[in-house]
Amino acid sequence: MSAADLVALFGHFLLLSLLAIGGAITTAPDMHRYLVVEKHWMGDATFTSSIAIAQAAPGPNVLFVAVLGWNAGGPLGAFAASSGILLPSTVLSLWATRWGAQRRETRGVRAFTAGLTPLTLGLLLSTGWVLAEPYLRDPHYRWGSLALIVVTVLVMTRTRVSPMWLVALGALAGVLGLV
C-alpha cells in the first residue's frame, strides 16, 4: 500500500468517524463499499471474517477497524484506519458530552437525542444486511442464515435473553456447517 493509499484510508475513516452515531459498526456498509467494492483491497469473505474475529475478541467493539486496516495495508493500514476512526469521534464526544450535560433539559438537546434512535437503528440494519448478504446469496448457506436471522430478530424483540446466547447459537450453527 502506497503512502497515498494510507492517507486515503486515514481520510476515509476520518469522515466515517463523524457518521458513526451508533458506534463504528454502523459504518460497516460504507467500509465494505470502500475497501471491497471500490479499492479491491480485500474480498467479501475477508471483510466479513475480519469483523467476526474482532467482534468475538474481548475488548472494545471498534477493534474490527484495526483488523480491516491490517488486512488492507498491514500495520500501517491498521494505524491509519484506527486513528482515522478514533480521533474525530473522541474529540467530538468529549466536547458534546460536556456541552450536553449543561443543557440536558433543553428542548433542542432532547429532540436531538430522540432523533438519534431511528438513525442508529437504520445504520445497524444496513450493517446487518452487508454482513448477511453474501451468505444469503450462497444456496448452501441461505436457509441456515435466514433461519438464524429470523430467530435472532424474534428473540431480541420479544425477550430479554442476553445477545451472547445468540452469538453462541451462531457459533454452533457455524460449527455444524449451517451458516
pLDDT digits 0-9 by tens, 47-96: 998 998 888 888 888 899 999 999 999 999 999 999 999 999 889 889 88
- Alpha helices (H) along the chain: 3-19, 28-32, 44-56, 63-102, 107-137, 142-158, 163-175
pLDDT score of 12: 97
pLDDT score of 52: 87
How many angstroms separate the CA atoms of 10 and 83, rounded? Answer: 7
Q: Is position 87 within any domain?
A: yes
pLDDT score of 47: 94
112 pLDDT exceeds 90? Answer: no
Cα–Cα distance list, 125 to 108, 109, 131, 136 (Å): 27, 25, 10, 15
The boundaries of the domain holding residue 90 are 3-116
Q: Is position 47 within any domain?
A: yes
Q: Interior CA angle at 122 toward 121 and 128, to 5°?
A: 90
Q: Is position 16 within any domain?
A: yes
Q: Is position 163 within any domain?
A: no
Domain count, the chain: 1
pLDDT score of 32: 96
Q: Is position 74 within any domain?
A: yes
pLDDT score of 16: 93
Q: Is position 58 within any domain?
A: yes
pLDDT per residue as tens digits for the range 11-36:
999 999 988 877 888 899 999 999 99
88, 18 contact by CB (below 8 A): yes
Q: Is position 52 within any domain?
A: yes
pLDDT score of 113: 81
Mean pLDDT computed over 134-156: 90
Q: Is position 68 within any domain?
A: yes
pLDDT score of 61: 83
How many angstroms separate the CA atoms of 18 and 6, rounded? Answer: 19
